[in-house]
Structure 1
C-alpha cells in the first residue's frame, strides 16, 4: 500500500448518494470536511470531531460510520450515503424520515442526520427491534433536545411498517 504524504493532494473517487464523485483533497482531510466543504453535502454535521456525538454518521458501503473519524482517501472506490441520499430522486422523504416528522423526533435537527443514518443501517440489520435495542443503538448519539422518546417511537413505527409491507408483498 502506498504511504501518503501529509500535505499531498489526492483525487478521491467514490459513489456519493448513488452518483459518481471525483474531487481532490489533502491526504489528511476528514471525510466530514470533504463532504461538507469539498462536495457541498452539508447534511453531514460535525459536532465533536472525536467520534462521540454521532452527528457526522454516514453509511460507508451500507454500514454506519463516523465521517469525522474517517479520512476522505479511505472511501476511494466505495459507496457513501449521507442524509441527502435518503430522500428519493424527487426529494420525497423516505419512510424513516416521514416517521421522524410524524413523531416530532426532529427538534433542533442538528443530530438528526446522523441519527437517521444510524437508524437506516440498524433497521437493515434488525428489522424487528425491541424498544431497548433501539435505545441501545441510539446510545452512540448525543441529542440534547428530544430525550430520545420520539426518536425511538419513529424507529419502531418504521420497523413495523416495513415488516407489514414485506408481509403484504409476499
Structure 2
C-alpha cells in the first residue's frame, strides 16, 4: 500500500514542472498559474489523508499477529481468519485506484492552459508586423533628408521654382 501512495506523489511533481515552463512565457499567464498552485495544495492534503489510512491498515495487521500467537493450537480456525483479512486488503487497493483517476483530471486542466499560451504567441506575431512598418517609415524619412541635402540640384532648378511658386503656395497645405 505504501508503494502505491508514492506513485501518486510522483505524478503531482510532474504537474509542477509543467507549471514552471508556463511561467517563462507571459506575465498574464503567471496569474493563471497561481490558481493552479492552489489546486495543487489541495491535492497534497488529500495525499496526507491516504497516509493516515495506510497507518490504520498496519494496526490491523498487528492485531492479526496477536491473534495468531494466542491461537497456535487451533490452526484451522486461524486460516479462515487470514482469508478475511486478505479481502479487506483488496478493498484498500480499490481506493488507491480512485486517487489515480483524480490525478488524471489535473493533467487535463494543464492542457487547457497550453491552448491559452498559443493565443498569446499569435498576438506576438502581430507586434512583429507593426515593427516592420515602422522601419519602412524611417526609410522614407531618410530619403526626404537626402533631398534636402542636395543643394546643387536646388540651384539648378531655382528658376523653375520661382515660376511655380504661386502654385506651390496653393498646394502646400495639401502636401503637409
> As a proportion of its length, which structure holds more strand?
1
Where on the TM-score scale, by shorter chain, does this alignment land: which range?
under 0.3
- TM-score (norm: length of structure 1): 0.22
> As a proportion of its length, which structure holds more helix?
2
Q: Of the two, which has the highest radius of gyration?
A: 2
- TM-score (norm: length of structure 2): 0.22
Q: Which has the higher contact order (CA 8 A, sep 6+)?
A: 2
